[in-house]
A and B are shown apart, each in its own frame.
Chain A
Amino acid sequence: KAGVTQTPRYLIKTRGQQVTLSCSPISGHRSVSWYQQTPGQGLQFLFEYFSETQRNKGNFPGRFSGRQFSNSRSEMNVSTLELGDSALYLCASSLLGGQGNYGYTFGSGTRLTVV
């Protein structure tokens, strides 16, 4: 079966611009989570969506937002980009959420570079 698909794979943006990243979860999965990975901070949780509702949110400024559509596809948006937003953004899908038995499947990520 198809895995988690993230688009685009690579992105270069200028400081102050905004960006939208896309994630298509595994068919049937209803939970989509987003993580930011940087060399300095490691892997940090951004937010989780389940059935179009944000269920959990990490400690990121309001410039980071997301949404989930009725087909479970998710997008995250970062407005007013800063150099520190350069990172690998990972999406993970799960059948119902990380309730142990189900686990998460990650996509390959979108590498965002802000210049």
Chain B
Amino acid sequence: GDSVTQMEGPVTLSEEAFLTINCTYTATGYPSLFWYVQYPGEGLQLLLKATKADDKGSNKGFEATYRKETTSFHLEKGSVQVSDSAVYFCALSVDFGNEKLTFGTGTRLTIIP
């Protein structure tokens, strides 16, 4: 079945550090890939997405590139801020009438000033 493997957390970084959160996937067909973010006490917010190989999703300084050859969708940010502290989820959705999201386990990110 479809699955998402996400970098174990928690991750603690200093402000302005470079961030990478690894995500790899296994899927039948050609999935769309997503990064969602969850702030304390809130639901999920879509951070960025990519729908086909070599697409780069970007938002709020975060980027991720859909790499079909390595089945990866790593999240990166060049300079993190305290406000980026949250839990990040990598997810995939496969077309062909199977419109559900399959999530990774989530990575808790804490940024210290």
Interface residues of A (CB under 8 A from B): 4, 6, 31, 33, 35, 42-43, 45, 48, 50, 55-56, 58, 90, 92, 94, 97-101, 103-109
- Please, how many angstroms separate the alpha-carbon atoms of A97 and B97 in the complex? 9
Question: Contact partner of B100 among A6, A45, A90, CB < 8 A?
Answer: A45
Question: Contact partner of A90 among B32, B44, B104, CB < 8 A?
Answer: B44
Question: Contact partner of A104 among B51, B98, B101, B105, CB < 8 A?
Answer: B101
A98 and B97 within 8 A (CB): no
Question: Least Cβ distance of B81 to chain A in Å?
Answer: 23
Contact with A along B34-49 (1 / 0, CB 8 A): 1010000011111001
Given the known inter-chain contacts A106-B44, A106-B45, please indicate yes or no for A98 contacting B51, CB distance below 8 A: no
- Please, how many angstroms separate the alpha-carbon atoms of A108 and B45 in the complex? 9
Given the known inter-chain contacts A42-B105, A43-B89, please indicate yes or no for A103 contacting B100, CB distance below 8 A: no
Question: Least Cβ distance of B16 to chain A in Å?
Answer: 30
B98 and A56 within 8 A (CB): yes
Quick one: closest A residue to B92, CB to CB? A98
B89 and A56 within 8 A (CB): no
